[in-house]
């Protein structure tokens, strides 16, 4: 038995918004793989919950009118990984979320929950940052879309207003088209572990595959919230596809990130692995684009 | 709490059932306490060990971090569904015995339900793929190799192919 004060089951998005307004103290629960665990630990014990888990309208992936990828917030990690549109356009996201927890966790965990937690270690977060995802929030007044970097306000804090729930995550076409990416999760175990540091890179090469047209990189656990590394992106963007560029790109990362000492790893260690992770991710992304490093 | 008990209709191991359920209950609580499905073990109760694993609409879930009320309208399978009409063991259960993949047995039902999900895809997986698919379970006795071998053996048996010999 969970120590739940009240459980409100939303029957639609509109109903969820009504429940949010009626019960401002209540916590939203999607898959529950964080909320229920925290409740068991005592952190959220005795709280009211609003369950949105059964809202199937928030599941699935599609292309919208402008060919942006639209991912329903309750889409599970395992469904994301398997989805043909994800595999075709942003395979790295499917691969990144395939490293969350274990198989059963990937069946219950949702991409919306992963972002709404506001934790820096979320395996989806760095890739979503690197692809400049937009977070769609639906509230009493309507729908608003927030760039993911503005959605994260601080460790464990995200920009969800008292009447809102997150309904989708969008990846703009301009962001995903003609790109290949790679995610590297550095953790102590191969399964059921949280990233010590995570790095997601995606590149767009020139038609002759000799030049980096665009390079994007984002990290998890390199600061209080997931973050891009603009210095590193600038160091590689427009540069020739070469081992030197990859090297310079990796080294530039140190100037951008701000990891901390924690029981999982020290700041110095995180900085050290971040450089190598970025370099490897760039090299793998190039390979996936059919390019070759000289 | 108002509406503490809610009517939950679902399909358990092929049978339609209905019950008034405490909305604070986990699916593990409901399956064990209301339906006596004691193959569903209470291990860590925070979704880490996989002992409470059951199949819901064809996918594996740790029932300890799944609210009982979410079972509404779902098809749920536990280890009990594998029992033959005269109490026979299924092939995968027999393989666990043959390969000594069981010691204390606490993790076994969870592992076997994941194995069922793997086997029912009808696909052939490499050892690495099988390891990854079995990675959501903790076993503190056998050291996993025997479990992997039991699943692999059953997979090849069901595929009608000889099991490749170790190189």
Of B22, B65, B137, the CB nearest to A36: B65
- The DSSP secondary-structure symbol of A201 reads E
The CA radius of gyration of chain A, in Å to the nearest whole number, is: 19
Q: Is the pLDDT of residue A96 over 60?
A: yes
Give the alpha-carbon dihedral of A137, A200, B136, A193, to 10 degrees.
-100
Same domain, B155 and B128: yes
Average pLDDT, chain A: 96
For B40-58, write each residue's pLDDT tens digit.
999 999 999 999 999 999 9
Please tell me the predicted confidence (pLDDT) of residue B167.
Answer: 57
User: Among B81, B111, B128, where does a domain finish?
Assistant: B81
Q: B111 to chain A, minimum CA–CA distance in Å?
A: 11
Same domain, B95 and B62: no
Rounded distance between C-alpha atoms, residue A169 and residue A72, angstroms: 6
SS3 B44: coil
Average pLDDT in the A100-116 region? 97
Same domain, B70 and B131: no
- Domain range spanning residue B109? 91-159
Rounded distance between C-alpha atoms, residue A166 and residue A172, angstroms: 17
Which residues lie below 8 Å from residue A34, measured CB to CB, with a gap of 6+?
A113, A117
- B-chain CB neighbours of A10 within 8 Å are none
| Chain B residue with the nearest C-alpha to that of A1 | B25
Q: Does residue B166 fall inside a structural domain?
A: no
Q: Does residue B72 fall inside a structural domain?
A: yes
- The DSSP secondary-structure symbol of A257 reads -
Same domain, B102 and B60: no
Contact across the interface for B26 and A1, Cβ inside 8 Å: yes
pTM listed for this prediction: 0.96
Average pLDDT in the A137-151 region? 98
- A-chain CB neighbours of B60 within 8 Å are 103-104, 107
Q: A27 falls in which pLDDT band (50, 70, 90)?
A: very high
- The DSSP secondary-structure symbol of B103 reads S
DSSP β-bridge partners for residue A180: A203
Rounded distance between C-alpha atoms, residue B26 and residue B23, angstroms: 8
Question: Measured in whole angstroms, how far is the alpha carbon of residue B58 from the centre of its chain?
Answer: 11
Q: Is the pLDDT of residue A108 over 90?
A: yes
Contact across the interface for B67 and A41, Cβ inside 8 Å: no
- A-chain CB neighbours of B62 within 8 Å are 104-105, 108
Rounded distance between C-alpha atoms, residue A258 and residue B54, angstroms: 42
Same domain, B45 and B68: yes
Which residues lie below 8 Å from residue A262, measured CB to CB, with a gap of 6+?
none
User: Among B21, B52, B81, where does a domain finish?
Assistant: B81
Domain count within chain B: 2
| Chain B residue with the nearest C-alpha to that of A99 | B132
Percent of chain A with pLDDT over 70: 100
Q: B145 to chain A, minimum CA–CA distance in Å?
A: 16
Cα–Cα distance list, A213 to A170, A207, A233 (Å):
23, 9, 11
Q: Is the pLDDT of residue A294 over 90?
A: no
Tokens found for residue A2 = 């969970």
Rounded distance between C-alpha atoms, residue A58 and residue A49, angstroms: 18
What spatial distance separates the first Cα and last Cα of chain B, rounded to whole Å? 61
Rounded distance between C-alpha atoms, residue B104 and residue B115, angstroms: 18
Domains in chain A with CATH codes: 4-51 (3.30.43.10), 60-174 (3.30.465.10), 182-288 (3.30.390.50)
Q: Does residue B17 fall inside a structural domain?
A: yes
**pLDDT digit string (tens) for chain B, length 167 residues:** 778 999 999 999 999 999 999 999 999 999 999 999 999 999 999 999 999 999 999 999 999 999 999 999 999 999 999 999 999 999 999 999 999 999 999 999 999 999 999 999 999 999 999 999 999 999 999 789 999 999 999 999 999 999 998 65
Q: B1 to chain A, minimum CA–CA distance in Å?
A: 6
Within a 10 A sphere around the Cβ of A86, how many other Cβ atoms? 22
Residue B23 sits in a domain of what CATH number? 3.10.20.30
Under 8 Å between Cβ of A55 and A12: yes
Q: B86 to chain A, minimum CA–CA distance in Å?
A: 31
| Chain A residue with the nearest C-alpha to that of B53 | A104
Under 8 Å between Cβ of A270 and A196: yes
Under 8 Å between Cβ of A242 and A279: no
Which residues lie below 8 Å from residue A79, measured CB to CB, with a gap of 6+?
A59, A60, A61
- A-chain CB neighbours of B132 within 8 Å are 103, 190-191
Q: B116 to chain A, minimum CA–CA distance in Å?
A: 13
SS3 A221: coil
Q: Does residue B67 fall inside a structural domain?
A: yes
Tokens found for residue A254 = 């140190």
Q: Which of A150, A189, A148 is nearest to A171 (CA)?
A: A148
DSSP β-bridge partners for residue B18: B9
Rounded distance between C-alpha atoms, residue B54 and residue A275, angstroms: 41
Q: B15 to chain A, minimum CA–CA distance in Å?
A: 22
Please tell me the predicted confidence (pLDDT) of residue A119.
Answer: 93
Q: Considering only A59-63, A103-107, A119-123, B109-113, which range has the smallest mean pLDDT? A: A119-123
Contact across the interface for A107 and B29, Cβ inside 8 Å: no
Q: Which of A36, A112, A39, A101 is nearest to A71 (CA)?
A: A112
Average pLDDT in the A33-44 region? 95
With tokens 């928030």, the residue in question is A58
Same domain, B37 and B77: yes
- B-chain CB neighbours of A3 within 8 Å are 24
Q: What is the ipTM of this complex?
A: 0.96
Of A32, A101, A103, the CB nearest to B133: A103
Cα–Cα distance list, A292 to A32, A206, A249 (Å):
43, 12, 16
DSSP track, A124-189: THHHHHHTT-EEEEEETTEEEEEEHHHHEEETTEE---TT-EEEEEEE-HHHHTT-EEEEEEE-SS
| Chain B residue with the nearest C-alpha to that of A40 | B46
For A173-232, write each residue's pLDDT tens digit.
999 999 999 999 999 988 888 999 999 999 999 999 999 999 999 999 999 999 999 999
| Chain A residue with the nearest C-alpha to that of B58 | A107
Mutant choice from B9, B24, B113 vs A, greatest count of A C-beta within 10 A: B24
Q: Is the pLDDT of residue A163 over 70?
A: yes
Q: Which of A221, A213, A129, A81 is nearest to B59 (CA)?
A: A81
Q: A170 to chain B, minimum CA–CA distance in Å?
A: 26
| Chain A residue with the nearest C-alpha to that of B54 | A104
Q: Does residue B148 fall inside a structural domain?
A: yes
Strand residue runs (E) in chain B: 5-12, 15-22, 53-56, 59-62, 75-77
- A-chain CB neighbours of B23 within 8 Å are 4, 7
Contact across the interface for B65 and A101, Cβ inside 8 Å: no
∠A162-A33-B112 over CA atoms, to 5°?
155
Under 8 Å between Cβ of A75 and A106: no
Q: Does residue B167 fall inside a structural domain?
A: no
Residue B129 sits in a domain of what CATH number? 1.10.150.120
User: Among B53, B81, B109, where does a domain finish?
Assistant: B81
Q: Is the pLDDT of residue A35 over 90?
A: yes
Same domain, B16 and B65: yes
The dihedrals phi and psi of B110, each to the nearest 5 degrees, come to -65, -50
């Amino acid at each position: 038995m969970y120590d739940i004060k009240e459980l409100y089951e939303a029957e639609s998005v509109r109903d969820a918004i009504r429940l949010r307004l009626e019960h401002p103290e209540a916590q939203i629960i999607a898959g529950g793989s964080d909320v229920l665990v925290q409740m068991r630990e005592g952190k959220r014990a005795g709280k009211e919950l609003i369950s949105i888990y059964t809202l199937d309208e928030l599941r699935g992936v599609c292309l919208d009118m402008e060919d942006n990828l639209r991912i329903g917030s309750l889409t599970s990690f395992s469904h994301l990984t398997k989805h043909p549109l994800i595999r075709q356009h942003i395979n790295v996201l499917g691969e990144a979320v395939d490293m969350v927890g274990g198989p059963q966790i990937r069946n219950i965990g949702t991409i919306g929950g992963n972002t709404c937690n506001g934790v820096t270690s979320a395996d989806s977060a760095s890739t979503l940052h690197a692809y400049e995802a937009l977070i769609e929030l639906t509230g009493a007044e309507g729908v608003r879309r927030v760039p993911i970097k503005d959605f994260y306000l601080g460790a464990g804090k995200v920009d969800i207003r008292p009447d809102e729930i997150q309904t989708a995550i969008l990846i703009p076409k301009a962001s995903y088209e003609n790109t290949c990416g790679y995610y590297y999760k550095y953790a102590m175990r191969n399964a059921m572990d949280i990233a010590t540091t995570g790095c997601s890179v995606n590149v767009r090469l020139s038609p002759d595959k000799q030049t980096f047209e665009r390079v994007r990189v984002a990290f998890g656990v390199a600061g209080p919230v997931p973050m891009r590394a603009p210095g590193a992106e600038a160091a590689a963007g427009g540069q020739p596809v070469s081992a030197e560029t990859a090297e310079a790109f990796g080294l530039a990362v140190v100037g951008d990130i701000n990891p901390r000492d924690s029981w999982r790893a020290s700041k110095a260690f995180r900085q050290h692995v971040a450089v190598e992770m970025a370099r490897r991710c760039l090299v793998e992304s190039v390979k996936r684009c059919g390019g070759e490093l000289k | 709490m108002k509406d503490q008990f809610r009517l939950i209709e679902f399909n358990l191991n092929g049978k339609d059932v209905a019950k008034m359920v405490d909305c604070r209950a986990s699916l593990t609580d409901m399956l064990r306490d209301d339906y006596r499905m004691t193959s569903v073990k209470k291990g860590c109760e925070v979704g880490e060990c996989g002992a409470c694993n059951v199949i819901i609409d064809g996918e594996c879930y740790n029932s300890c971090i799944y609210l009982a009320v979410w079972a509404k309208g779902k098809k749920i399978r536990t280890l009990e569904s594998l029992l033959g009409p005269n109490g026979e063991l299924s092939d995968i259960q027999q393989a666990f015995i043959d390969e000594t993949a069981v010691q204390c047995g606490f993790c076994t039902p969870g592992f076997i339900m994941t194995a069922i999900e793997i086997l029912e895809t009808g696909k052939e997986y490499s050892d690495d793929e099988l390891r990854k698919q079995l990675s959501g379970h903790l076993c503190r006795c056998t050291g996993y190799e025997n479990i992997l071998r039991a699943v692999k053996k059953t997979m090849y048996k069901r595929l009608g192919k000889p099991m490749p010999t170790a190189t």
